[in-house]
Amino acid sequence: MLLNQKKEVNFWSGFFIGIFWFYWIALSFRYYDMSYMVPFIIILVGLVYAIIFTLISYPSNPFIRAIFILFLSYLHPFHFSWLKPELIFINSYLGIEKWQFGVTLFTLSLASYLYKKDKKILAILSLFFIIFAINLPKKSKNINFKNNIALVDQKVPEDIKWDPRYKEQIIQKDLLAIKKAINNKKEMVILSESAFPMYLNTNEQLLSTLKKLSKKIIIIAGALRYTSDGYYNSTYYFINGKIKIADKVVLVPFGEEIPLPNFLKNLINRIFFDGAEDFKTAQHPTTILIKGKTFTNAICYEATEDIIYKNHPHFVIATSNNAWFTPSTEPTLQHLLLKYYSKIYHTTIIHAANMGISGIIQE
């Protein structure tokens, strides 16, 4: 439809695709006491993609439109990169590599071009070209350590996660999950992003407890980190009584950073976020050696960014906190994106999420 409709029609197509794909972005404003902003943000998101899809539709030639759609995933409004049309094929027999998606688009363009001219040639050519885009399922790799990993499926709503009244209760539940993994003879336990809702590096008592437990099991858990430079969203690795910290590299647009010039960024932070500063970031992804295997760390949004996979890691440990956006389709969309990156880069992703979809994802 996008290849053939008038641009006026595609304006509304883009508007509703933007809304249904990303309406959940606005839900996070509930936790900043700005619920009144939710409908405005949803409409704004719809308008951004309405404009994009209208621009795509200016050439009437379906082949040219197909080229624009092919490269649509490289367009990141406000640094947000989750609109990837290839995702609709993630669970199908059609491949999601760029060249495979290109063949699919070319075939559809050819079909629209030949539809009224010669249906026999159309059928033959379409079948011929689509064969190249077929991606038959491969036999899954055998991960000999997956049964030794405990993924803690946390269910902590965002409205209580950072409430001081529930802090001790959340800590005790996390410690209980770790001890349960020890009792189940697991070698590694992974908790979600912000599993410990605090600046963990400043809590010496809890750090000491986790160090002791890490002599029985490897503990991986998300928490904040505070330094004189600012604060970080981090993953803490407790291994045999020692700590290694992996800081986030790619921040969530409008969640952890304002992707605008400084004068606008400061204004928005002052008006809407009580003058809060953006999170600080690491310069590059952190890799951790565990039992002879190298794991690349990723925290939520950045697990769906190419920078994490640029060196084609065999294993990625990803942690997420999806409570900001539940109930919504966001956890499902993130899961599809993780499957996408697993297939593209041939990487096994071990994902622990709060209010999301935890699991081991492999091509």
| Three-state secondary structure string covering the chain | CCCCCCHHHHHHHHHHHHHHHHHHHHHHHHHHCCHHHHHHHHHHHHHHHHHHHHHHCCCCCHHHHHHHHHCHHHCCHHHCCCCCHHHHHCCCCECCCHHHHHHHHHHHHHHHHHCCCCHHHHHHHHHHHHHHHECCCCCCCCCCCHHHEEECCECCCHHHHCCHHHHHHHHHHHHHHHHHHHHCCCCEEECCCCCEEEEHHHCHHHHHHHHHHCCCCEEEEEEEEEECCEEEEEEEEEECCEEEEEECCCCCECCCECCCCHHHHHHHHHHHCCCCCCCECCCCCCEEEECCEEEEEEEHHHHHCHHHHCCCCCEEEEEEEHHHHCCCCHHHHHHHHHHHHHHHHCCEEEEEEECCCCEEECC
Is there a domain that residue 140 lies in? no
Residues 186 and 280 in one domain: yes
Residues 341 and 299 in one domain: yes
Residues 97 and 221 in one domain: no
Is there a domain that residue 357 lies in? yes
Is there a domain that residue 176 lies in? yes
Map tokens 């590694």 to a residue: 188
Q: Which of 133, 154, 186 is the last residue of a domain?
A: 133
Q: Which of 133, 158, 186 is the last residue of a domain?
A: 133
Residues 43 and 120 in one domain: yes
Residues 309 and 180 in one domain: yes
In terms of residue numbers, what domain contains 92?
7-133
Is there a domain that residue 205 lies in? yes
Return the active site residues: 193, 248, 300
pLDDT attached to residue 256: 75
Is there a domain that residue 349 lies in? yes
Would you write out the chain's pLDDT as a tens digit for each of its 363 residues? 888 888 899 999 999 999 999 999 999 888 888 899 899 999 999 999 999 999 999 898 999 999 999 999 998 887 888 999 999 999 888 889 999 999 889 888 888 777 767 667 777 777 777 787 787 666 666 666 778 999 998 899 998 999 999 999 999 999 999 999 999 999 999 999 999 999 999 999 999 999 999 999 999 999 999 998 899 999 999 999 999 999 999 988 877 777 666 666 666 666 666 656 678 999 999 999 998 899 999 999 999 999 999 999 999 999 999 999 999 999 999 999 999 999 999 999 999 999 999 999 987
Residues 42 and 183 in one domain: no
Which CATH number do you get for residue 232? 3.60.110.10
Number of domains in the chain: 2
pTM recorded for the entire structure? 0.90
Residues 150 and 179 in one domain: yes
Residues 191 and 119 in one domain: no
Is there a domain that residue 2 lies in? no
Return d(Cα 148, Cα 187) in angstroms, integer. Answer: 5
Residues 104 and 209 in one domain: no
Is there a domain that residue 224 lies in? yes
Is there a domain that residue 268 lies in? yes
pLDDT attached to residue 187: 95
Residues 280 and 349 in one domain: yes
Q: Which of 107, 133, 159 is the last residue of a domain?
A: 133
Residues 120 and 184 in one domain: no
Residues 178 and 127 in one domain: no
